[in-house]
Amino acid sequence: MATINGITIKTFRTFSSIEYPTIREANVYQKGKKIGTYREDEWGGESHYTTGLYEIIRSHATEFQKGCNKDSIYYEFQNDPDIFMGYLLTLAEYEKYYKSYSKKGAMHTLFIGNDFKWMSYGSYVKIDYSDESKLHTKIKDGIKREFPKGGYVIWSADSLDDFNITVDENHPIPEYLKRRDNK
């Protein structure tokens, strides 16, 4: 289950609205107990939280940001519960992709993107994502096409454990979650 600093999304759904093609709604858990429901606004306004959930998410976003630096894709949290929940829901979506690729026999899944768009690839061979020169040609071409100015992150998943992220003052953001620029 997708988890950031102890906040877990176990179930979520997406649906269309009048203003936006994709609205997300999720049940939010902490230590196995449901603590509330989060829903993006159908008209593009502020997100909706059940009573007390906003404050809990805000405190987790604050703690998470303490472990981030300016090179992290998560640096923008800045105590913002909506951004925190956005990343957590995106992580839950990636988990679905990972499970799908794994069922098809992929050994490794790459997620490449920035704050505005993401690509995912199921790889049937192990990829050294730390060295971009070793990435498959198709993936390198996709990066150049989709992110011509750089500012992207290459994130990989080898197991379901990779969807459980802990970052705070004592656990800094991992190297693989730092922004990269095209060379």
pTM value? 0.75
Pick the residue with more confidence: 28 or 146?
Answer: 28
Beta carbons within 8 Å of 149's beta carbon, 6+ residues apart: 181, 182
Q: Decide: 135 and 125 in contact? Cβ < 8 Å.
A: no
Q: Of 71, 72, 69, 67, which Cα lies nearest the Cα of 87?
A: 72
> How large is the C-alpha radius of gyration of the chain?
17
Beta carbons within 8 Å of 147's beta carbon, 6+ residues apart: 112, 113, 114, 182
pLDDT at 37 (0 to 100): 94
pLDDT at 92 (0 to 100): 87
pLDDT at 175 (0 to 100): 56
Q: How confident is the prediction for the chain on average, in pLDDT?
A: 76
Rounded CA separation 47/24 (Å): 10
- Is the predicted pLDDT of residue 119 greater than 80, yes or no? no
pLDDT at 41 (0 to 100): 81
The per-residue pLDDT for range 68-111, each reduced to its tens digit, is: 666 665 666 567 888 888 888 888 888 888 888 888 887 777 77
Pick the residue with more confidence: 137 or 2?
Answer: 2
- Is the predicted pLDDT of residue 126 greater than 60, yes or no? no
Pick the residue with more confidence: 56 or 154?
Answer: 56
pLDDT at 183 (0 to 100): 47
pLDDT at 38 (0 to 100): 93
Domain definitions of the chain by residue range: 2-177
Task: Write out the two tokens for 176.
Answer: 């693989």
- Is the predicted pLDDT of residue 122 greater than 50, yes or no? yes
